[in-house]
Amino acid sequence: MFFAASIFLISYALIMSEKVPHTIAAMVGGILMVIFGVLDQDKAIHYIDFDTIGLLCGMMIIVLVLKKTGLFQYLAIKSVKLSKGNPTWILVSLAVFTAVMSALLDNVTTVLIVAPITLAIADTLSISPIPFLVSEILFSNIGGTATLIGDPPNILIGNSSHLSFMSFITHNLPILLVIGVLTLIFLRFYYRKQLTIPVDKEKLIEGFDESKSIKNYKHLIICLIVVLLTFTGFILHSRFDLKLATIALFGGFTLLMITKTHPEEILKDIEWGTVFFFVGLFVLAGGLEATGLIEIVAKKMVLATNSIKTMSFAVLWGSAIASSIVDNIPFTATMIHVINSIDKMGIYNVQPLWWSLSLGACLGGNATIVGAAANVIVSSYAKANNQNIGFLNYMKVAVPVTIVAISLSMGYILLVDL
């Protein structure tokens, strides 16, 4: 138990300190669990959640193929043109675009698509891109919370809790719509002075030609049909007793086959660092569970909180605070074992705990610029383009938004789940 706890804590400290790339810290920690005999190799492999890995890889392939069609750029420009050059509506359209894309794809891919477009629009219209970039960070995390595939914590929770794809949408979407509308009203008020366009530039938005983004319409239509079928599969997966990983991988490789794309061309761009990070985390958390430490923590939590209501709120706020400071993926990977352990005790129905973890870990990531991968990517991308969001300036906007979002989630869980 001593070895397992030490390896786990040192690995997590290294992941948080960012002194070592997180993939290396997680993988070395996971392998040390085997070397020191905490787990044998078979058990270590048993702890790797291949549903999550398969879903991640399948979605990455789909996104990589789709990205090449220019569709995302087309949709982003189309939605911005609906604003008719009004900066408030540009903010709204980019935020909605980011939220929808984040719900359907992963947050990092979404912000990597939307951030360059935002900078191009701001540069052309001679306005500051900061309000738009900040709103995109916030809405990538809000949108990602809405679906099982939208944010890594949800992927982990979905695969461990056996909650269906649709249950994430039906449970999380109503409260996220409320949070989204309030966030937009707050952003409009907060950035009111920056949301103005020089009169002579307003008409320029009409000059954006989204049709030039699409390179091959036939290719695009084929891709869209496959993607539509994949998402239909996601919605119906529980009815056909199919895992999401099976559907995502089938969709991804069918796309490669139909578009006659050489697999090497796409597979080399899969974020292998992220995939191995998950593998390492699964083994690390598995090692801790195998020694019985997770069970001890779960029992202590049950004793300390006394009721499912208190425990849900503790999980919600605890995961929100933890996610705002450190990476929410390792935190969620560990908490999943704790919740499963509480479930095994048979005292409570743990469903409210899953939703608390989902809302807390995903929305908590909004609070600081280091809270989620999308935040870090947008802020460093802005810096590379001579725009500084600033750690404290970001927090001035994001902390109130996050506190309101978590408070509303608390009321929502109380109302719906408890």
Partner 1 sequence: MIVKDVYLRDVTSVSLNSNIKSVIKLFNLTRYYALPITNVDNEYIGCIDISDIIDSCVPKYMKDLSSSAFLPDVDMFYNRLNNVKDMLVKDLIKDDYPTLREEDSVSYAADLLEKFNRRTLPVLDGKKLLGILTRLEIISVLIKKESI
C-beta of 103 vs 113, nearer to partner 1: 113
Using the rule CB under 8 A, give the single segment among 71-79, 184-192, 228-236, 286-294 that binds partner 1: 71-79
Instruction: Tell me: does residue 11 bind partner 1 (CB under 8 A).
Output: no
Total chain residues near partner 1 (CB under 8 A) = 25
Distance CA 323, CA 325 (A): 5
Instruction: Tell me: does residue 385 bind partner 1 (CB under 8 A).
Output: yes
C-beta of 69 vs 164, nearer to partner 1: 69
Instruction: Tell me: does residue 31 bind partner 1 (CB under 8 A).
Output: no
CB of 59 to partner 1, least distance (A): 19
Q: Which residue type is seen at 264?
A: E
Instruction: Tell me: does residue 200 bind partner 1 (CB under 8 A).
Output: no
Among 84, 192, 215, 396, binds partner 1 (CB under 8 A): 215
Among 84, 192, 212, 344, binds partner 1 (CB under 8 A): 212
CB of 72 to partner 1, least distance (A): 8
C-beta of 3 vs 74, nearer to partner 1: 74
C-beta of 84 vs 344, nearer to partner 1: 84
Using the rule CB under 8 A, give the single segment among 53-61, 99-107, 206-214, 318-326 that binds partner 1: 206-214
Among 210, 271, 343, 417, binds partner 1 (CB under 8 A): 210
Instruction: Tell me: does residue 116 bind partner 1 (CB under 8 A).
Output: yes
C-beta of 69 vs 328, nearer to partner 1: 69
CA 192 to chain CA centroid, nearest Å: 29
C-beta of 203 vs 344, nearer to partner 1: 203
194, exposed or middle or buried, with CB in 10 Å at 0-12, 13-18, 19+?
A: middle
Instruction: Tell me: does residue 40 bind partner 1 (CB under 8 A).
Output: no
Instruction: Give residues with Cβ within 8 angstroms of 171, minimum separation 6.
Output: 355, 416
Residues 118-177 that bind partner 1 (CB under 8 A): 119-120, 123-124
Instruction: Tell me: does residue 388 bind partner 1 (CB under 8 A).
Output: no
Binding site for partner 1 (CB under 8 A): 67-68, 70, 72-73, 77, 112, 115-117, 119-120, 123-124, 204, 207-213, 215, 384-385
